[in-house]
């Protein structure tokens, strides 16, 4: 999928001097190429206004993967492509190195870069007859215990088919993009980003009573909270949390529309896996 870029929104990492300076430089660079732009700092009222009111053809994030994720959640299902200039440490999602942005951005303007649709996640928490939380995630939703070192009990089902009551420290429900994050650290599978699927990975399942699963995107994973004696949280991309209560029902499936990410031919998924040690070549 290709897009003509006439209007751009630049979002910089909060309180990051270098990102702010690069943002101003980029505004001038785009203006010289007849591309109108606005710039704002992430997590500010100005970004909230721009997010709701401004129509743009591309959102460019200057920061690390955490900044990109916080911006990405607001673009799920909106048909607005997203690309990141990596000014953080990992940069698995932020595709453009901070010292090589000009060539990459020119390729986008020239229509040489494809924007690929990626699966994102949608979640609701139902308490009795009321939905007490509704949200989306670009990477993952995590159900996990609080400070006390006690396993939690969850009654699991997929598409209404019972999987039984499982005891564990929690569960990670990850999109393909999120499979290289917390999920793989807990023993979850790598899921190629082109797949219309998501993974469910237990965190220290009691007696290995549940193994990681990959589910079709349209299937609904449900976890009903059975635990009575410990705190339990639902976290959204590791950045926002909801305190769950006994008998709450967490339901997760793919989000309609997903996310559009830039993909550069010379930075393939497999190359990134090799560079970041997810796959090790023989010595």
pLDDT 10s digits, 16-75: 999 999 999 999 999 999 999 999 999 888 888 778 767 899 999 999 888 999 999 999
pLDDT in the model for residue 215: 98
| Tokens at 246, concatenated | 């006994």
Look at residue 281 in the predicted model and tell me its pLDDT: 67
State the pLDDT at residue 236: 97
Is 169 marked as binding a ligand? yes
Q: Where in the chain is the domain with CATH 2.60.200.30?
A: 121-254
CATH 2.60.200.30: does it fit domain 121-254?
Answer: yes
| Whether the predicted pLDDT of 283 surpasses 60 | no
pLDDT at 263: 81
Q: Is 150 annotated as a binding residue?
A: yes
∠ CA 78-83-89, nearest 5°, is: 130
pLDDT in tens, 134-181: 999 999 999 998 766 678 899 999 999 999 999 999 999 999 999 999
Q: What pLDDT sits at residue 1? A: 61
The pLDDT value given to residue 147 = 64
Q: What are the catalytic residues?
A: 65
Is 106 annotated to bind a ligand? Reply is no
Concatenating the DSSP letter of every residue in 17-61 gives HHHHHHHHHHHHHHHTTT-EEEEEETTSHHHHHHHHH---SEEEE
- How many angstroms separate the CA atoms of 60 and 40, rounded? 11
110 is in an annotated binding site: no
Q: Give every CB contact of residue 277 below 8 A, 6+ residues apart in sequence.
A: none
**H or E, element range at 66:** helix 65-72
pLDDT tens digits for range 192-245: 999 999 999 999 988 778 999 999 999 999 999 997 778 899 999 999 999 999
Give me the phi and psi of 208, to 5 degrees please: 50, 50
- Delimit the CATH 3.40.50.10330 region(s) of the chain: 7-118+258-275
Question: Would you state the pLDDT for residue 52?
Answer: 79
Residue 246 annotated as binding? Answer: no
pLDDT of the residue at 156: 97
Q: Are 124 and 268 in contact (CB under 8 A)?
A: no
What digits encode the pLDDT tens for the residues 239-271?
999 999 999 999 999 999 999 998 876 667 888
Residue 105 has pLDDT above 70, yes or no: yes
| Residue 86 among known ligand-binding residues | no
Per CATH, is 7-118+258-275 categorized as 3.90.260.10?
A: no
Distance of alpha carbon 246 from the chain centroid:
27
């Amino acid at each position: 999928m290709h897009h003509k870029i006439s209007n751009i929104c630049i979002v910089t990492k909060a309180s990051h001097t270098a990102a702010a300076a690069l943002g101003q430089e980029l505004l001038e660079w785009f203006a010289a190429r007849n591309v109108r732009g606005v710039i704002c700092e992430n997590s500010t009222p100005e970004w909230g206004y721009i997010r709701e009111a401004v129509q743009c053809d591309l959102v460019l994030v200057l920061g690390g993967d955490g900044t990109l994720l916080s911006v990405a959640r607001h673009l799920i299902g909106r048909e607005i492509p997203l690309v990141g200039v990596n000014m953080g440490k990992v940069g698995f999602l932020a595709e453009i190195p901070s010292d090589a942005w000009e060539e990459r951005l020119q390729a986008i303007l020239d229509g040489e870069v494809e924007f690929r649709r990626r699966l994102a996640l949608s979640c609701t928490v139902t308490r009795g007859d009321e939905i007490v939380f509704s949200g989306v995630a670009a990477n993952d939703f995590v159900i996990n215990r609080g400070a006390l070192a006690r396993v939690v009990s969850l009654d699991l089902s997929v598409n209404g088919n019972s999987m039984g009551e499982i005891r564990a420290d929690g569960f990670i429900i990850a999109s393909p993009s999120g499979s290289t994050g917390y999920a793989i650290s807990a023993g979850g599978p790598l899921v190629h980003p082109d797949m219309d699927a998501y993974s469910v990975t237990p965190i220290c399942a009691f007696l290995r009573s549940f193994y990681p699963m990959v589910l079709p995107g349209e299937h609904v994973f449900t976890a009903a909270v059975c635990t009575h004696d410990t705190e339990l949280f639902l976290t959204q991309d590791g950045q926002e949390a909801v305190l769950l209560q006994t008998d709450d029902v967490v339901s997760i499936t793919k989000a309609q529309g997903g996310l559009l990410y830039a993909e550069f031919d010379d930075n393939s998924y497999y190359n990134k896996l090799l560079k970041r040690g997810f796959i090790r070549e023989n010595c």
